[in-house]
Structures are given as structure tokens and as C-alpha cells.
A and B are shown apart, each in its own frame.
Chain A
Amino acid sequence: MSTVLAGHGLIKKYGATTALAGVDVEVGERDSLAIMGPSGSGKSTLLHTLAGVIRPDEGQVLLRGERSEMGVPPAEVPQPSAGGAPRGRIDNLGENRLSALRRKRFGFVFQFGQLLPELPAEENVALPLMLEGTPRKQAVARARRWFAPLGLDGLEKRRPGQLSGGQAQRVAIARALVVEPDVVFADEPTGALDQHTSTEVIQLLTAVTRESGAALVMVTHDADVAAHCGRILHVRDGRISSHSQYTVG
């Protein structure tokens, strides 16, 4: 399994608090990684650093390492510098390039509130494609393809407020996957759901992500949810305290 995303020696501090104290992590193709840990352990900081939302104070984040077939314009992935900095490094990109990278290569699922309340479900899903310049009709058509696999048939025209929590999260999953990303980042994706719905959503998220060929990096505090992932990283005081590996069907 080749590495899609890697973080090396990641350090991040907020004032006197060290959120990440030298973390190394790698995510492979179709890999699913759960990051667990108590509150304030640095798990969300790790996810956001890997996703290029937060810049580490030290260390590097590499997307597809040395490989050149990232699909993003070469300008967005720096070439090796004179000092020998590796290709694919994303932590030092400018804000605009990072935004473009997140939009094109990553998908995001959050606990709640990521859907625009005034857009119907299908337009929420189509939005990332439209932002990339796909014509609206085509974008909506592509978005609709995700509704049946995610059990959302018939809900295309509904607004987020007219969906249940589980349905809204499935729309968010569709939105994350519609751009065919390399990695889907999920931050407590089932945190606002009841246990039954939570299980449904996490099963869908892991299955559909794997089928689409993307890797999944998920932060959760729920061991049952984490158990659906192939690997679990336990983070404590900004360091990886343990690493478990499962075989997920």
C-alpha cells in the first residue's frame, strides 16, 4: 500500500500549550485511520495539520510523497528545493494554493453545521464541483449519483433543515466524496448522532470512502466508531501513545 499522506515530526504549540509534540504518521491508499484521545490531547490539531488547515510549527506534511501524478497543477506542489526539500510537501504552501488543494484533493465531514442551510441537498453536494468550474447542470447531475449509494434517494431537493441528523451527515459524506478526493478527513462525524444512526453513518462512510479509492482520516472519541477503521492512533499530550491495526472487511 503506497503512502498517500504523511506527517513527519509534526510540532504545534498554542502559547504555552503543546498540541503536537513531534508526531509521525502515514496514511496509505484506501487506508482508514482513526485518531483517538482524550480532550485536549491534540487529535483535532493532528487532523487539521494533515489536512493543511493548520500549519505546523515544525515538521512536514507530504501528499503522495515523491509521486508526481497528484492531479494538481505542478505549481501547487513545490519541486525539490536546492536544500533538498521533498516533493509533495504541502505544509508550506500559500493560503490560496492550500485552499485549492483542500478543495480538489480532500473531502471533509464534520460533526454538524457544514451544510449551507439555504441550499437543497443536491446543490450542497454539487457546490465543490461548481467551485472547480464544473457547469451547474453537470455538477448537480454528478452530485445526484451519490444519493442512491448513500440511501438518500428522494431527498435531493430537501434543505438541511428538513433532513434528520443522519441524513444530513450522509449528504455531507456525499459532498466530501463528490470531488473524488485522495483523502477524506472526518472530525467527530457521528458526534451529534444517536448510536443506531451513528453506526449506520460510520459504516457508510468507511465503506463508500474505500470504494471510491480514497483514504479516510477520522477523529473520534468513540471506540465503537473507531473500530470501523483499519488502524487506530491513540494520541495523548500531543504524542502517539499507541497504534493498533485491525483488518476491516
Chain B
Amino acid sequence: MRSSVLPLTWHLVRSSGRRGLQSRLLAAVVAAVSAFVLLMMIAVSLGSGERADRTAWRTPQAAKHGTAIEALATTFVRHEPVTVVSLAQLPGRKATPAPPGLSTFPKRGEVYVSPALAELMRELPADQLADRLPKPESYGTIGAAGLAAPDELVAVVGRAPSDPAVSKAAEGGNWYDKDRTARAVVAGFSSTEPSLFTGLDQQMAVLGVALLVMPVIVLAAAAGRLGAARREQRLAALRLAGATPRQIMAMTAAEAAAVGGAGALTGALAYAVLLPALAEIPYGVGGWYTGQLWVGLPWFAAVVLAVTALITVSAVTMLRQVATSPLGVAQQANPRRTRMIRLVLFAAVLGYVLFTTQGGQLGARQLVALLALFYGAFWLFGPWVVDRLGRIVGRYARRPATLLAARRLSDDPSGAWRTVSGLVLAGFVAGFFSVSQLQFGGPEQQGQVAVLTADSAATRRAAAEARTLLREAGVTATVTVPSEDDFGSSLGGSPGLIARVSGGQAQIDTAMTVLTPLGAGRLPFTQDYTNASDDVALDRIGVVSTATLVMSFLVAAVSAGLTAAANVLDRRRVYGLLRLAGTPLKTLDRARARETALPLAVLAGGTTAMGVYGAFQFNKAADSTMNASGALQLAVCVAVGTLAMLTAIGASRPLLRKVTAEPTQTAD
């Protein structure tokens, strides 16, 4: 026998009128937003990894039977890093393959630059940037295969094996050279070690994703609840007409899957269409090559299916009552009590997390796994807290609005938890990031340009020459030669000279450029170079924290607003009759706000404290101090988040007014 479920579902969907269409459209929009955000998060994580992989060839990897010398150097212009890769084919050895982004191995004197570097070289005077590199007859261009991002500043220089830039002196070795300066005899470009400027990107992106994924899932689940009341009404009637629970479930699933699937697919397609625009959003080393943000078909399909499944499961779960009893929600006899086991499990997980983080040395994967565990535990614990809170407040409530809110909380703690869970978990994000803005100590070396030399004799000669070069270039600077046990200077105890430059960044860039020939294989450097790894970590944490916070609060506020709207529709009859009997709209509205504000105050406060603790552990692992201004930022975040949440709930007030205005608009 042919199943009647699909045709009947389709018929009911078509005949459900404007309001039915609106709630489905809203659910589809939410599904689209969820799919879009999820795909973006996956894209950034995967894309960051791919970008890092594309920089690995620049790190020289020593080979037993090497054919060429590869030297990595890093210089800064306008505080932006420029990666310089020097290559020299060794005579009498096999030809070395071309590095990524180049069609051939560069010959001596050839200089290849990335498009962004070429543009910057055109923009800035030669004595601020171009003169740091050899002057070829013409510059070659490094292709995308050799670059992490279109905005990356990279140069590849072909040199003679005897060139100081590829000599032993170019090996680096000081603490500040790590991942910035290196040299080795190589046989190719198969290194897997990413550059300093991209190595942290993926870890930080994954951390951001781990913190964001739960609020997005909550949002998608909220979409499944939209229109539940209307479906309930319709399907309860079908139950009375003889439909079986299985048919009801199938009809609900079919409708929710169709709406969720259409929305998720639209969101996914929007992501695909908007890829070129999304690629313009900078992260780390700048914007993206569009292809880097394409997640691939398996991920694309997985996200569409996951969002669809989430919405479907959410919708079916909401209808369980109708399916089991034809009288549906009217028979809400026993409130679901939460058991103490939730508290026990939560305490156990919390204990485990605390114990595991005691050591302070955690990898990104461990951190993400612990976060997932923590979220899971909170998902169990949240409803238990809401239930207890409802009972306690219910016992002492004096005002009708508070009493209504408290009774609602203990009547459906899971539902109330769902409303606030997004912001509660966002509170954790806020707590975590606001105080984990790492601060590293270190000597202030503003305006210092350091030049490394071979020894003290060379330093003296270089100092005299430096003064002349700087004067000729019009740079006001004092050149000094720190003693070799002065570890406070930029040289960190190595032989060399320091030029203290007066004036702005242009003067410093000029000094670095004119002093380049004195470095004997090493490029002059500033504190941008010595602090690079700390600066990169700070920058990435700053970007990810800001993005995660903004997204979390937005997503949490939207899901709270949606849940509030769904609740109004679910309870429209009882609200309508209460209002008809004279209950002021204000009382109903206050009750709805308190229903959210009460658990929010308790739970968000708790998770924010947890976040602060997590950040403390993270900082401990990174051996850094806590950010003093973090507390203020945290307070602002919590205030803005709460305000956004209450505004989102307030947004459903017109809906409440509308559904309760005239509950009997019939001619009877």
C-alpha cells in the first residue's frame, strides 16, 4: 500500500495559511543561518590549516644529500612581517626542484616577490623597503601555491652559495630567531613546519569553533520548535481522526526535514556564493584565497544534513506528547523532575576537568575535548539548576509574575534551560577570553634597530659606517654598541650595534633598509622581530576572542528570541484566556522576562566564573599574566549579552499582544 504520509503532509503544509508559512519561513531562515555559520567556522578551521601548510616550504629542512642552501629570514616593514627566502644552488649537485609558487629554482640574482609585496615596494620609497633586497633587472612573481594568503609579504631571492645571506651566519640561533631565521642545506621543499605567522591560526580557530558550536546547535534546535504549537493542534486533530503515532511522527519529521533541509541548503549555498566576499575578511596573515575557504563537498553535505537532522529531531521531540496522547499538551500531568544524578555527573566531570588542567600543559585537541566534555556536563547540570531555582523562587515568590516564572521553570526546566543555554555558554566564552588576553613581560625597545655583526672588531667598523649611512639617509639616530653581557638590549647579548632612531615608523624602516648591508648575512631587526611570537599569539587570541564573543552573543540572543516567540505561540490559548480574564499584558511579559532572567543570572554567573578559571589555566599554560582590563571587558560583555537577551525576548511582545488581543475573532 502506498504511504499516505507524504501527500497528506504536503497537503497540510499547503493549506496552513499565512501564519503557518511565516513560522516555516522563519525556521528555514534560522536553519540557513545555522548552516552558514557552521560552514564558515569549519572553513576558517580547515582554511587556516591549509594556509599554514602552504608556508611550510619556507622552513629549511636539512637533507643528507642536499642540493641547495635555503635560508629563511624575516624583516618587518610598517610592523608587517616580510618573509625572505634565500636560495642558492650548490655547484656540482643535482638540480633542486622549484619551490612552490615558482616555475623554476631561482638563479643567482633573481628576485621573486609576492603580489602584495610588489605593490608595497611600489608604494614605499626604495630606501624604506626595496633596498633590503638585491636589485634584479626585473622582479618575478610568486604564485598562489607558495603563499598562504594574497596579502602575504614574501620574497624569494636567488643567491650564490658564497653569499653571506646563505652563510652559516644566517642560521640564527638566538632565542628571538626561533621560527624567524633558519638555514640548512636542502634537497627540496618538503618541510611540514609552518611559518610562525600561520602556525597558531588553526589551533585558535578550532578553539573558537569549539566555543561557538554549542550556541549554534542550540539555535538550530530552536528552529525546530517554531510552529510546534500549530503542528500540535493539527496533528492532535489527526490523532483523533485515527492517525497512528508512527504516522504523526513521520509527518512531523517529513515537514521539519523539508523546512530545515531547504533552509540549511539555502544557507550552505549562500556560503558557497559568498565565498569571494568572505575571503576578503582578514584573519592572521590577511585575507584568503577563495579556494582555501571551500570546505569540500563532504563537509558541505554533512553540515546540511546535520542542521536538517537537528531541526527534525527537535521538532519530533516537541511532538512526542501529541503522538502518545490524542489530547496532547492539555494533559500535561506530571512535570518532568530532574534527578540528583545530574549534579553528581556534573561534579565528576568538573573534578576531572580541574584535575586534568592542573598541570597547565594542554594541547589544542585536549583543550577542545575538555571543552566538549564541560559543555556536555553543563547540558546535564543546567536543567537541574533551573528546576531547583524554580522551586526555591516559587516557594518565596510574592508577585504573580515571579510566581508564574518560577512555576514555569520547575514545570519545564529543560525548556527554560534551552532558552538561556546559548547565553550561559556564551558567558563561559566571555569569561574565558576576557581575562585570557595574554600579557608578556619584556624590555621596551621602541625605536631600536639592531644589527648583528660577526665580532667586536666588525662591530666597531660597522658602527662608524652606520652613523654615516644613517646621516646620508636623513635619519636621526644614536648608534651605540652594547656590551655583550647586556641582555636587555634588542641584541640579547650577541655582538652588534643598536641604532636608536628618533621619528616615526618611516624613519625606522629607512634605518633598517640602509643598515642592511652591515648585517653580514643577517637583516637588521626591531622589537617587531624579537616579540613576533608573542605578538602573533596576542593578535590571534584577540581576533578569535572578539569574533567568538560577538558571534556567541548574537547567536544566543537570536535563539533566545526565537524560543520566546515559540513559547508565546505554544501557550497562546492560555495566555489569550488569561488576558481575556483581565490579566495585564505587563504581568505576562514580566513573567516571561523573569523566566529567562532568573536562570540567566544564576547560570551565566556560574559559567562566567568557570570561564575565568579556564582562562587562568590557559594563561598558566602560556606562562603569561592575566589581563588587568579583562574584568571590565567581562562586565561589559555580560551586560551587553543580558541586554541583548532581554531585548530579543522583548521582541516577541508584539506577538504576545497579537495572539492574546482578541482570542475569539469569529462570528459566533
Interface residues of A (CB under 8 A from B): 14, 17, 19, 39-45, 48, 51, 53-54, 96, 99-104, 106-108, 110, 112-119, 123, 127-128, 130-131, 135-136, 159-162
Contacts and interface: CB of A to CB of B under 8 A. Distances in A.
Contacts of A101: 582
Contact of B403 (A41, A102, A115, A130): A130
- Across the A-B interface, give the 7 residue pairs with the lowest CB-CB distance, nearest first: A103-B582, A118-B411, A161-B333, A102-B582, A118-B407, A130-B400, A161-B332
B581 A114 contact: yes
Given A40-B666, A118-B411, 15 more contacts: A14-B665, A19-B668, A39-B668, A40-B668, A45-B667, A99-B583, A99-B584, A99-B585, A101-B582, A107-B581, A116-B407, A117-B332, A117-B574, A118-B410, A162-B333
B587 interface: yes
B399 to A, nearest CB: 7
A99 B579 CA distance: 8
B582 A159 contact: no
B573 A113 contact: yes
Contacts of B667: 14, 17, 19, 40, 42, 45
A23 B333 CA distance: 42
B407 A130 contact: no
Given A114-B574, A116-B574, A45 B581 contact: no
A54 B580 CA distance: 10
B335 interface: yes
B3 interface: no
Interface of B: 329-335, 397-400, 403-404, 407-408, 410-412, 573-574, 577-585, 587, 662-668
Given A101-B582, A131-B582, A53 B664 contact: yes
A102 B578 CA distance: 11
29 contacts: A17-B667, A40-B667, A42-B667, A42-B668, A45-B664, A54-B662, A54-B664, A96-B584, A99-B579, A99-B583, A103-B581, A103-B582, A107-B581, A112-B330, A113-B573, A116-B578, A118-B335, A118-B404, A118-B411, A118-B412, A119-B404, A119-B407, A123-B403, A128-B582, A130-B403, A131-B587, A135-B398, A161-B331, A161-B332
A119 B390 CA distance: 12
A53 B662 contact: yes
A136 B583 CA distance: 16
A17 B484 CA distance: 100
Which of A40, A41, A53, A118 has most B Cβ within 10 Å?
A: A118
Given A103-B582, A106-B582, A113 B577 contact: yes
B668 A131 contact: no
A100 B584 CA distance: 8
Contacts of A14: 665-667
A81 to B, nearest CB: 25
A45 B662 CA distance: 11
Nearest to B577: A114
Contacts of B664: 44-45, 48, 53-54
Contacts of B330: 112-113, 161
Nearest to A13: B667
A105 B607 CA distance: 48
B407 to A, nearest CB: 4
Contacts of B332: 117, 159-161
A78 to B, nearest CB: 18
B363 to A, nearest CB: 47
B399 A123 contact: no
A183 to B, nearest CB: 13
B302 to A, nearest CB: 39
Contact of A123 (B331, B407, B582, B665): B407
Nearest to A14: B667
B399 A130 contact: yes
Contacts of A113: 330, 573-574, 577
B403 to A, nearest CB: 7
B415 to A, nearest CB: 11
Nearest to B585: A99
A189 to B, nearest CB: 13
B668 to A, nearest CB: 5
Nearest to A163: B333
A51 B580 CA distance: 9
Contacts of A48: 664
Contacts of B583: 99, 103, 127, 131
A106 B248 CA distance: 41
Nearest to B575: A116
Nearest to A52: B582
A24 B666 CA distance: 20
A108 B407 contact: no
Nearest to B412: A118
Nearest to B396: A136
A130 B664 CA distance: 26
B636 to A, nearest CB: 35
Given A99-B582, A131-B587, A135-B398, A44 B573 contact: no
Given A39-B668, A113-B574, A161 B334 contact: yes
Given A41-B668, A44-B668, A135-B398, A102 B333 contact: no
Contacts of A41: 668
Contacts of A17: 667
Contacts of B397: 136
A63 B666 CA distance: 24
A46 B663 CA distance: 14
A159 B400 contact: no
A161 B403 CA distance: 18
Contacts of B399: 130
A52 B195 CA distance: 75
A160 B400 CA distance: 18
A96 B574 CA distance: 19
B581 A162 contact: no
B386 to A, nearest CB: 13
A107 B577 CA distance: 12
Contact of A44 (B331, B335, B411, B666): B666
A101 B329 CA distance: 31
Given A42-B667, A136-B397, A162-B333, A118 B581 contact: no
Given A42-B667, A53-B664, A162-B333, A108 B580 contact: yes
A74 B471 CA distance: 93
A96 B662 CA distance: 14
B583 to A, nearest CB: 6
A42 B666 CA distance: 9
Which of A41, A53, A101, A112 has most B Cβ within 10 Å?
A: A53
Contact of A131 (B400, B573, B574): B400
Given A114-B577, A116-B404, A136-B398, A100 B582 contact: yes
A119 B408 CA distance: 8
B475 to A, nearest CB: 76
Contacts of A159: 332-333, 335
Contacts of B585: 99
A174 to B, nearest CB: 13
Which of A96, A101, A112, A130 has most B Cβ within 10 Å?
A: A130
Given A113-B330, A119-B407, A159-B333, A108 B581 contact: yes
Contacts of B333: 159, 161-162
A101 B665 CA distance: 21
A123 B332 CA distance: 17
A112 B327 CA distance: 12
Nearest to A136: B398
Contact of A128 (B411, B577, B579, B581): B581
